[in-house]
Structure 1
Amino acid sequence: MLAKYSPARLIRIISSFVKNYRISINSIFALFFALGLGLSLISACSPNNTSNSPATQTVNQKSTNQAVVVRIGYQKAATILNALKNRRTLEKTLAAAGASVTWAEFPAGPPMLEAMNAGSIDFGYTGESPPIFAQAGGTPLLYIAYDPWSPKAEAIIVPKNSPIKSVAELKGKKIAFAKGSNSNYLVVKAIETAGLKYSDIKPAYLAPADARAAFEGGNVDAWAIWDPYLAVAQQATGARTITDATNLAPNRGYYLARQAFVDSRSDLLKTVLDEVSKLNNWAANNPKEVAKFLEPELGIKAAVLEIAEKRREYGVLPLTDKVIATQQDIADTFHKIKLIPKQIQVKEIVWKGNK
């Protein structure tokens, strides 16, 4: 109750008690104890109390961040995140905020997003198709930004001595591509444009390494593939391109994040995006250096990788209505040919913070 009075008022009350009631010394001590408690409470409520000052809040935030580990999934062929891992600039930036980072390598986008679904990673990068399958499967993720990459960076190729000259001539032929991949979508759009149906071809669902063996061994008639594997096949075998993805498929990449991470630590997400953007700017202007970096990582000659680098684009761009609509078209196409079990709405999982 005494905490309601000012120190001066409390002293006057004590003086009055001593004068009028001749209370004992022990009582005076008790009152001084109460006064000390009151002053403590007053001090705690004082505007000058530093527990809620900006400096203290910064320290508290940093203390909280120290328990935060940003877990990033990457693929070796995904240039930017691979380079970001090796340069260790993100570690320094996050350390300044009191947080840290771990890295997990994946062979492809689908297992990476399975890990995101399990809560094992917070951030990653894949091509167009894996997030569509992940959304259809209920993975709690968000599209954060997109990478324009390039429609020139994927194509349908045939052996150099093949009699096939056009997409229309693929009717009844066996075409290798990874199921549910960017190149799967390219095949669907290419044959539709040529007046064919998906049932008019014989899909051979193969991962890039197996597809290359089948292609070079003459076990398939054509191969739909993306860079850098496309550049390797062209340089090593003299393969001919019957169409690339121009006017057929956008061939974009997407930066994705776990919903819970976005909700709880959007500040750290923005820190990651800032570092990714800086490295994108470097890569866009240094294709030769990027190729040299990737050579030991991928086991592909730098000269071949440089070809792939020069025909792609870089960027960390917010998703526009047009980009979302194109991604929706891919989802609708996969649903139509029964690659995903249900209709999905891409716009429902687009992050609004990167505008």
Structure 2
Amino acid sequence: MSYATRYATKLAGLIAGLVLSASAFAQGAPLKELKVDYAYYSPSSLVIKRKGWLEEEFKGTDVKWVLSAGSNRALEYLNSGAIDVGSTAGLAAVLSRANGNPIKAVYIFSRPEWTALVVPKDSPIKSLKDLKGKKVAATKGTDPYLFLLRSLHTVGLKKSDIEHVNLQHADGRVALAQKNVDAWAGLDPFMAASEIEDGAKLIYRNVAFNTYGFLNASESFYSKNPNELKRVIKVYEKARAWIQQNPVEAAKILSEEAKLPLGVALLQLKERTDFSNPQPGKEHIDALRAAAPILLEEELVKPGTDLNKVIGDLVDANFAKSVIATKADPRKLP
């Protein structure tokens, strides 16, 4: 082989190596760790965790699962870096973003009716007005808490007209059953369990006051790992499609994870959870704008906060468009 041929061969190999290196750099190194939450109020997260779909999608990445007991916990974890992606109620995410938590809402995991106002089966309380002066449990910084405040406003009452008892959702159910509180702003599946197992009554329901289930990412993860975030959404889409086609199996997973009877899980999934529209859009933004004034009225954010701007900064209505299938059909999903 001539010198010129050997030189050309060596040069070609060097160029090929550089091309491969450049390609690997452009794609980015695989994530070492992906931190996500799972929550009983987010059935999709439970299905994904049980099926191992994130681990399949992110082979070579250490997937770390963290239990969120409520939106307040998920938002704390996002703010501290304990998770990269977390599931919360929409209005809770607005409140958190308004108070400085840098998060982005990129996907709708469900439209639930997951909260209502609950009283014991033999309670004399019949209406919202009867709550004046009463002890009411609710988890601060979550949809049930904000639902409670909005509900009170419909009858001219404010937070100062009740005695608010700040308890995490599961503890609120126990406090109601033991009659340590007069009422509770419940959250499924604990609310459904309270109805079925304790005979508790829902004295006020309003699906319009239940803000959507939002999948959020820390702004850092959103900015640095957009492709990986889209892959997380792809897996959520797979779960959404699977739940719609296998509601009883999904209820069994929820039942086992939350350690609650199957009937409780079926009530939550089949009667009070809508999986039909995962694409963030006008209806979700409008719902947040309609709900947001309660944050100013109850002084949960700084006076003068521009909540429309907060919502605009929070929700990325375009991020997931390329991922979300027109119809939830698992045969069309990876």
TM-score, reference length from structure 2: 0.82
Partner of 1:284: 244
Partner of 2:325: none
Q: Where does structure 1 lack aligned partners over 5 or more consecutive residues?
A: 1-31
Q: Where does structure 2 lack aligned partners over 5 or more consecutive residues?
A: 322-334
- The higher relative CO (CA closer than 8 Å, separation ≥ 6) is in 2
Structure 1 stretch displaced more, 325-334 or 82-91: 325-334
Q: SS of the counterpart of 2:111?
A: coil
Letter in 2 for 1:74: Y
CA separation in 1, counterparts of 2:291 and 2:5? 71
Q: SS of the counterpart of 2:124?
A: coil
- State percent identity of aligned pairs: 26
- Report the Cα offset of residue 327 of structure 1: 1.8
Partner of 1:201: 162
Corresponding residue pairs, total: 314
Note closer, same or farther for the CA distance 1:117–1:88 as it changes in structure 2 (3 Å cut).
Answer: same
CA offsets 1:235-277 (integer angstroms, 9 cap, x no match): 1221122121234x03321100121222222111111111111
- Report the Cα offset of residue 40 of structure 1: 5.8
Match of 1:101 among 19, 39, 63: 63
Letter in 2 for 1:308: Q
Partner of 1:70: 34
Note closer, same or farther for the CA distance 1:147–1:266 as it changes in structure 2 (3 Å cut).
Answer: same
Note closer, same or farther for the CA distance 1:300–1:70 as it changes in structure 2 (3 Å cut).
Answer: same
- Report the Cα offset of residue 156 of structure 1: 0.9
Task: Summarize the alignment of residues 167-246 of structure 1 with structure 2, pairs less than 5 Å apart.
Answer: 167-246=128-207
1:349 has 2:311 as partner: no
Letter in 1 for 2:247: P
1:85 has 2:56 as partner: no
Note closer, same or farther for the CA distance 1:165–1:116 as it changes in structure 2 (3 Å cut).
Answer: closer
- Report the Cα offset of residue 190 of structure 1: 1.8
Match of 2:76 among 66, 90, 114: 114
Q: SS of the counterpart of 2:105?
A: strand
Q: SS of the counterpart of 1:149?
A: strand
Runs of 4+ aligned structure 1 residues displaced above 6 Å come to none
8 A Cα contact 1:141 1:257, kept in partner: yes
Note closer, same or farther for the CA distance 1:147–1:165 as it changes in structure 2 (3 Å cut).
Answer: same
CA separation in 1, counterparts of 2:153 and 2:147? 10
Partner of 1:128: 90
- Report the Cα offset of residue 80 of structure 1: 1.3
Partner of 1:28: none
Partner of 2:214: 254
8 A Cα contact 1:277 1:316, kept in partner: no
CA separation in 2, counterparts of 1:317 and 1:177? 27
CA separation in 2, counterparts of 1:207 and 1:100? 29
Q: SS of the counterpart of 1:284?
A: helix
Letter in 2 for 1:165: K
Letter in 2 for 1:75: A
CA offsets 1:29-74 (integer angstroms, 9 cap, x no match): xxx99x899x669956x9x953466x77655566x43354322122
CA separation in 1, counterparts of 2:142 and 2:82? 23
CA separation in 1, counterparts of 2:77 and 2:280? 24
8 A Cα contact 1:335 1:341, kept in partner: yes
Partner of 2:224: 264
Partner of 1:140: 102
8 A Cα contact 1:146 1:315, kept in partner: no
Letter in 2 for 1:191: L
Letter in 1 for 2:234: D
CA separation in 2, counterparts of 1:284 and 1:116? 28
- Report the Cα offset of residue 134 of structure 1: 2.5
